[in-house]
Structure 1
Amino acid sequence: MGVSTTAAQHVVRPLSPSERWFWIIDRISPSNCTARVRVHGWLTPERLDRAGAALVAEYPLLRVGVEHGDGFDPRFVRLREPRIPVRRVVAAGGDAWRPEVDAEIREPFDTASGMARLVDIAHGVGTPDEFHDVVLTVSHVIVDGRSAMSLLRKVIEYAAEEVEPVSRAAVPPADDLIPAGARGFWRYLYTTLYDQVVALVRRPRLLSGATQVPLPERLTRVVHRKLDARELAALVADCRTAGVTVHGALAGAVALAIGKMVRPSGSGVTGIGSPVDFRHSLTPAPSVDELGIYAPVITNFVRFGGRETLWSAARSVNRQVHRGVRQRRHLATVAGMRYGTPRSLESGWRLVELIDRRAPWNVSVTNLGRIDFPDRVGEWRTSDLTFAAGNSCVSAVTIAITTAHGETHIEFCYVEGALSADGAERFADLVVTTLAERPDPARV
C-alpha cells in the first residue's frame, strides 16, 4: 500500500518548544517509546508492511523527518518516501520479546529519516500454536505513551483487514492549544519555582545506585512485573474502599519502595513524577488517538517510613495531583516551555546537566490506566499489552503501567548502571510486595 498524496495532509513547520526539548534530549541519549502486544494466530510480514503503510498514510507526523541548520532551527520536513520498516525475529521462547524491547529502547532513530519502526517476534510459525509479539517503537519527539498505544492498536487493526486509511488533517502541537488562562511568563516562573522551593523545604531522597552514569552513556533496560486478573480486581476494590485512585496506590507503593531502598530503617520524603494526560484541557481538544506529547509531569512529594502506609501515601499522591491540575501547573509548564527550552544544543546540554543534578525527583510513574484494546481483532486473540520508555537523561527509572485484557503490566525501565540488574529486580519486587501486603482499607 502506498501513501496517497492527493488527500494527504503534511506537516512542514518548526518543532514546537516541547518537541524541541525532546529532540534535544534524544540527541544526547535515545528517547524512545515502545508498545508491545501479543497476537495469537497467523501473521505474515506482508500484513505488517501493509499496516505500517496505512499508518503512514493516516498520520502526518509519520511522514516527516527533522532537519536543522547551523542556526539550530529544527524543523519537520516532508520525507520523499516515508515508511515504517518491519524487522522479523524468529523466536524459540515466549520471553524473547524482552531483549528485543530492551534493544528497541536503546536504538536511536535517525530523526532526519523517520521516527517509527516495527518488530515482529514470531513464535511457532506454521503451527496451531503460532503467536507473535508485535513491538512498535516511536520517537518521543512525536508521541507519548497513549499515542503509542493508539498506533499499536491501529497496526493490529490494519494488519487484520485490508481497509483504506483515512488521511488525517495535521493538528497543531499541544504547546499551541493551551488555554489563555494558563499561559504567561509569570505562571511559568511560579510553576518552575514551586517544586524547587518545596524540595528545598522537604529535602526529598532520590533513588540512587553506586554509579553516576555520564549522560551520553545512559541506556535503558527493563524489568517486567504483572498483576493478574485476581490481583488487579482485589487492588481496585481496596482502592475504592480506601477512597483513592489506583494511580495513587501505584505511585504510593513506588514512594514507599524508594524509602526502603534509600533508608531501610528510617523515614523521610521522596519525589515522584506523575505524568497527567491533558488532552481534554486543550482548545480544541485533540482526539484520543491523535499523535503528540500530551502528558506533562506533576511532582508529588510523598512521605515514607515511620507509620506511613500504602493508603496514606496514595492519599498524598491524589491530593497533590488534584491540586496541581486545579492550579493548572501542568498546563503552565507546557505553555511556558517557549521561555525555557534551550535555543542551542550546547545550552541544552547545560540545562539537562542542571536538571540531572537539581531535579526533585528521578522516578516517574507513567500509568496509562485502562487501555481500550480489544481482546479480539479479526481472527486473532490479543493479550499481554505492555509499554516501555527510555529514561534518556532526565530520570533514573520510568515505571510504565498499562491495564488491558484484565491484567496490569508494570515495566520498570531503569538506567543501566544507575541501578544494577539486581538492584532493579529488588526495587521491582519491593513495589509489587508493597502493593500485595497493603493493609485492610476498612481499618485504616
Structure 2
Amino acid sequence: MNRLLTPSEHLMWLLGCDRAINVSLCARIRGAFSVERLVEALGWVQRRHPLLSKRILIDRQQQPCLVSQGVPPIPIQVIKRLGEEHWSQEISAQLLHPFSWSEEPLARVVLLHSPDVSDLLLTYHHIGDGLSGAYLMRDIWCEITEPGSYRERLPEIPSIDRLLPPVYGEGEKNTVDFDWGVKVDQTIQLDEAYHERIHLLHWYFSPLETNRLVARCRQEQTTVHGALCAAFLLSLYHETSSSKEIVLKCLSPFNLRNYLTIPVGENFGEYIARVVTSHSLNQQTQFWDLARQVKHQINLAVMEKKIYQGSSKAKSFLSTKPNKITTRQYAKNITSSDIAITNLGRLDIPVHQGGLELEKLYFTVTGFRHQPIIVAIATTAGKMCVTFRYQESLIPSGSAQKINTGAMEKLRSELAHAPQLSF
C-alpha cells in the first residue's frame, strides 16, 4: 500500500531534511553468532513490519509519499568492536547521519562484532517512535536466537490521523491556525557552518536497584517516570547555582498506542504525543512532591485530551508551506523545554536465549537543534539502562556530567528507604 505521509510523519520528514532526526538503540549481546544469521533476521523483520519495506518519494503534487517499489534490504555494516565505549561513539555518529530516504529503507544496522561480545546498533528515521525500535530490536534478537519465533507479518494499518478520536478529526474547529510569519524567532538562522556533535553519557540500575525504585514509587503514589523527571529536574536546578525560584520545563513523549480508535499493536510508526510539564523549583522543593507533580500534569494532559492535538497542529502548520526557518521555529515551539525525558518502561524481551545473553539495551534520539539534554530509559529483565544525550554547543560537558551524576546519585539516595518488591 502506497500512501502520503501523515501530517506528523510529514513534519518529521521535513525536519529530517534540515538535519538528521534519528532514533538509535544498542543491544549488548554476549556470546557468538554469525553475521549471516543477523542478515537473515533483518530480512524477516523487514517483511514483518510494513513501514520498513517503504521508501519516500515526492509525487507529482510535490508531496512526500511512502512507496513499496524498489526498496532494497536493510543495510548492515560490520565493524570490529574496539572496546566498551565503542558503541556510544558509533551511535553519536549514527544520530547525525541522514537517511537517503528516496533510495533506501528508513532503518539501518551496524554490528560492532567480536567473538565473545557484540554491540548491535539499530538506527531509524524518527517517523518511528522509541517503542517501535524496542519491538524491532526484540524481533531481530529473537530471530537470531530462535528463528521463527515471531513469524507473523503485521498488518498495514491506517495512518495515525485516521486513528485519533473523532473530536479531533479533519475539519474539527479545534484545529489550530498558526501565523508563523509573525511569530518567527529572528535568532533562528540557517547557521549550517558550526560543528555539531552529540555526546552520550550512560549508566544503569541493577535489577535489585530497579526493583527498589519501583517499590518506592508505589509507596510515594507516583510513577518511575515521575521520579526520573524529578531527579533530573532537581539536578538541573542545582547546577544553575540559583538561590531563587526558577521555572523548568520537562518534555515527556507519551505513548498513544492504547488511546487510538483501533489497536496498532507492535506496528512500527510514531504513536506519541509530546507533553510538556512546567515546574517551579526552589531550595525547598521536595523530591517526591515534584515526582507526583509530574505525574499529575501528564494525567491532566490526558484528561483534557491535549495528547490528541499534535496531528491537527502539524496539518495546520504544513498548510502554510513552511521554509527551513519557520520549520525550525515550529519544532522549537512544540518541544520547548529545558530537558526531555523519554522512558520506554519495562520491555518484555527474553534475555537468555539460544545460548546468547542480551546484557543491556540502551536507546537515544538525535533530538532537535535547540534541545540541550535528552534522557532516554529502557528496562529489560529489570535492568534500567539510561542514556544522557547532550549537545556541547548548548551545554558545557562539565555541566552535563554534573547534571547526569547528580540525578543518578539522587535516585540512589531515595532507594535507601524503599521496601522490597519482586516483579
Q: TM-score, normalised by structure 2?
A: 0.88
Distance in 2, matches of 1:307 and 1:420, equals 27
Using the TM superposition, give the Cα deviation of residue 219 of structure 1 relative to its aligned residue in structure 2, in angstroms. Answer: 4.3
Q: Which residue of 2 aligns with 1:187?
A: 174
Distance in 1, matches of 2:393 and 2:224, equals 30
Distance in 1, matches of 2:83 and 2:397, equals 21
2:218 counterpart (233, 240, 245): 240
Contact 2:216 2:415 in 1 (8 A): no
Distance in 2, matches of 1:245 and 1:379, equals 35
Q: Which residue of 1 aligns with 2:134?
A: 149
Using the TM superposition, give the Cα deviation of residue 264 of structure 1 relative to its aligned residue in structure 2, in angstroms. Answer: 3.4
2:341 matches 1:365:
yes
Structure 1 residues 214 and 311 mapped into 2: Cα distance closer, same or farther (>3 Å)? Answer: farther
Distance in 1, matches of 2:191 and 2:229, equals 27
1:174 counterpart (160, 168, 187): 160
Q: Which residue of 2 aligns with 1:200?
A: none
2:110 matches 1:119:
yes
User: Cα RMSD over matched residues?
Assistant: 2.6
Q: Which residue of 1 aligns with 2:409?
A: 433
Paired residue secondary structure (2:11): helix
Q: Which residue of 2 aligns with 1:254?
A: 232
2:36 counterpart (37, 43, 46): 46
Paired residue secondary structure (2:102): coil
Structure 1 residues 310 and 286 mapped into 2: Cα distance closer, same or farther (>3 Å)? Answer: same
Letter in structure 1 aligned against 2:387: E
Letter in structure 1 aligned against 2:382: G
Say which is worse superposed, 247-256 or 392-401, in terms of deviation. 392-401
Using the TM superposition, give the Cα deviation of residue 160 of structure 1 relative to its aligned residue in structure 2, in angstroms. Answer: 2.3
- Cα deviation, 1:178-211, whole Å, max 9, x if unaligned, reads 0102446543449x99xxxxxxxxxxxxxxxxxx
Contact 2:190 2:325 in 1 (8 A): no
Using the TM superposition, give the Cα deviation of residue 169 of structure 1 relative to its aligned residue in structure 2, in angstroms. Answer: 2.4
Distance in 1, matches of 2:193 and 2:298, equals 32
Structure 1 residue ranges without an equivalent (≥5)? 1-10, 194-211
Q: Which residue of 2 aligns with 1:198?
A: none
Letter in structure 1 aligned against 2:134: M
Distance in 2, matches of 1:230 and 1:429, equals 20
Contact 2:55 2:71 in 1 (8 A): no
1:398 counterpart (354, 374, 377): 374
Distance in 1, matches of 2:350 and 2:415, equals 34
Distance in 1, matches of 2:146 and 2:371, equals 40
Matched-pair identity in %: 24
2:269 counterpart (278, 281, 292): 292
Distance in 1, matches of 2:140 and 2:94, equals 17
Contact 2:146 2:353 in 1 (8 A): no
Using the TM superposition, give the Cα deviation of residue 261 of structure 1 relative to its aligned residue in structure 2, in angstroms. Answer: 2.5
2:144 matches 1:159:
yes
Q: Which residue of 1 aligns with 2:124?
A: 138
Contact 2:81 2:118 in 1 (8 A): no
Q: Which residue of 2 aligns with 1:374?
A: 350
Structure 1 residues 43 and 344 mapped into 2: Cα distance closer, same or farther (>3 Å)? Answer: farther
Contact 1:266 1:305 in 2 (8 A): yes
Structure 1 residues 339 and 354 mapped into 2: Cα distance closer, same or farther (>3 Å)? Answer: closer
1:423 counterpart (386, 389, 399): 399
Contact 2:214 2:224 in 1 (8 A): yes
Structure 2 residue ranges without an equivalent (≥5)? 180-188, 419-423
Structure 1 residues 319 and 110 mapped into 2: Cα distance closer, same or farther (>3 Å)? Answer: same
Contact 1:273 1:300 in 2 (8 A): yes
Paired residue secondary structure (2:211): helix
Letter in structure 1 aligned against 2:210: L
